[in-house]
Amino acid sequence: MKIFSFLCFAAALGAADVPTPDAKPREVTVYADRAEVVRIFKGDLAVGDQSLLFDNLPANVDFSSIRVEGTGAFTLIDIRAETVQVKEVANEAIRALQAKIQAQELVQKELALAEGRVAFRRSALDKVLGRLTSVGKESANPEMDPLKWAAYLDFQAEQQVALDKEATDLAKRVKESRQLVDTFNREIAALNGNQSRSRNVARVNLDVKTAGAAEVRLSYVVHGPSWKPVYDLRADTKAKSIEITYHAELRQSTGEDWQGVSLKLSTAEPSVGGREPEMSPWFLAKAEPVTLDELRKESDGLNRHGSNVTGRIAGEKQNFGAVTSNQFNEFSAKGGSAVLADATVSTAAVVAGGTAATYVIERTTDIKSDNKMAKVTVMRLLLPSTYRHSCVPKLSSYVYLKTHATNKSDFTLLPGRTSVFLDGAFVANASMDLVPAGQEFWTFLGVDQSVSVERKELARREETAGVFGKKTLRTVFDQVFKVKNGKATEIDLVIWDQLPMGDHEDIKVVLEEPKYEKDSTSFKMNETKYVEWRHAVKAGEKRDVPFRFAIERPEDMQVIGY
């Protein structure tokens, strides 16, 4: 195998062009924002100087990335990549449209990043709520009294509404951008008609020593193609298993169809760069207060020069809003769906590199240059899993199902959208976190309506203790969780609730039912008084789980927060 680097010579060789019409894309490696394409020429070459002409390279080809390797009795003289102008008809209009397409591709990339940020914030928002409503070994949470709970729930609802609106707006903008790209492509096709404007070509100049068969591989990088991971999760509660189908959604509008190509998907991110960023000096300065009179004077001066102070004030508000929202960036989730133009079922082998992995799709793949989503299957993985139902009846009437498994494949499960199917039925859209090979993970499967846990208050009574001297007031909270398993199988159920915590030594909280001395498999309590029941509930079983506690304080003390 001979490997040649890109060279450029000023002088022309004068060798005759040898067309390569059959050298279509044969191998493609797709990255997050670009692709490396390989065209292969196979044929007989005559003795002497020969110039292989690889014609109609994509408009967004990176000329500096062109490489050649091959086998045969020849020596590479040089490689020339250039844009050939054939006719000067509507060139300016076409270039303007191509510039618009490239601009929209940047817009789509920025929107995709924004969608990822919204999805991350939504996932983090759900995770924080999960932490605040979980107990035992799975979480360690801060105290939160009912007033704080109400404020937080209001905050979470506001954030969810804001995220929904932002996600809807982003989806609308993505759709509009793709429609613009389609319109620009149609306009370019109409301008082209039967007339050629310009095209990108690469001439590979060879010195053939001996006539005979040769193979020449031309590779180049083209910007624009992309891929992202998505998953189908199929949980089987009877078989105690979960099947993960790892898909890749690809999109490309390079101008050349990829027909029957050998496809690879790389997790490398060449756009990030190979060197760490450098810091600049960090300076602190004294903040000088600005009075209202000074703002008025500044406003008057700006108005006299055709401007006003509103921009400054708006900018300050915007910066303040950004700081405030960043405090809650961890509250988010992923969701959504995509309409797929093509679906190719294939599997992949994984090749681990120094800093990234490459997934080699075993079957050949067709991906058209129409900017529509194509879907290929990277792999299917069947894992044994355990299932658990959990609920926080104090906050929600729903019982949720989740599953625990270990990633026994060689694949890293990248973060991505999931479609969840439970016992054959679609139940929810969720998200997959980053799961390296060999790591245990939890996957959430949505609400299970065949299991119910009702929190019912039996009594809330006031009692007085003590006959002589200072008396003690007791408020007793007597409640029960009414559990019903409507499934045909036994379930592992976790119920979460909490005891209040007093911030004064004279305020005492006494757990009366269940009796508690130390953690057991069926009942646990952590340092912040979050409590957890864990029960195996048989098929069709109904069960009452009692929960009773008392708040004790001196009769002359008023207590708030309950």
Q: Which residue has the higher pLDDT, 94 or 385?
A: 385
* In the predicted structure, residue 341 carries a pLDDT above the cut 50: no
For 291, the enclosing helix (H) or strand (E) is none
For the segment 430-437, the average pLDDT, to the nearest whole number, is 87
Tally of CA atoms within 13 A in the half-sphere of 287 that contains its CB: 3
Of 174, 224, 255, 254, residue with least CA distance to 33: 224
Distance CA 460, CA 478 (A): 6
For the segment 337-348, the average pLDDT, to the nearest whole number, is 44
For the segment 359-373, the average pLDDT, to the nearest whole number, is 91
- Contact present, 105 and 140 (Cβ < 8 Å): no
Average model confidence (pLDDT) for the chain? 80
β partners of residue 457: 479
Distance CA 122, CA 166 (A): 11
For the segment 95-121, the average pLDDT, to the nearest whole number, is 88
Distance CA 269, CA 249 (A): 17
Query: Which 3 state secondary structure label does DSSP give 308?
Result: coil
Which of 196-205, 330-339, 425-434 is predicted most confidently?
425-434
**pLDDT value at position 154?**
76
Burial of 69 (0-12, 13-18, 19+ CB in 10 A): middle
**pLDDT value at position 15?**
61
DSSP 480-524: EEEEEE-SSS-EEEEEEEE----SSTT-EEEEEES--SS--SSEE
**pLDDT value at position 332?**
28
* In the predicted structure, residue 134 carries a pLDDT above the cut 80: no
Distance CA 154, CA 161 (A): 11
**pLDDT value at position 327?**
29
- Contact present, 511 and 549 (Cβ < 8 Å): yes
Q: Which residue has the higher pLDDT, 148 or 478?
A: 478
* In the predicted structure, residue 319 carries a pLDDT above the cut 50: no
**pLDDT value at position 145?**
65
pTM beyond 0.85:
no
Report residue 375's pLDDT band, with 50, 70 and 90 as the boundaries.
very high
Distance CA 38, CA 445 (A): 42
Distance CA 38, CA 54 (A): 11
Lowest mean pLDDT among 98-107, 139-148, 435-444: 139-148
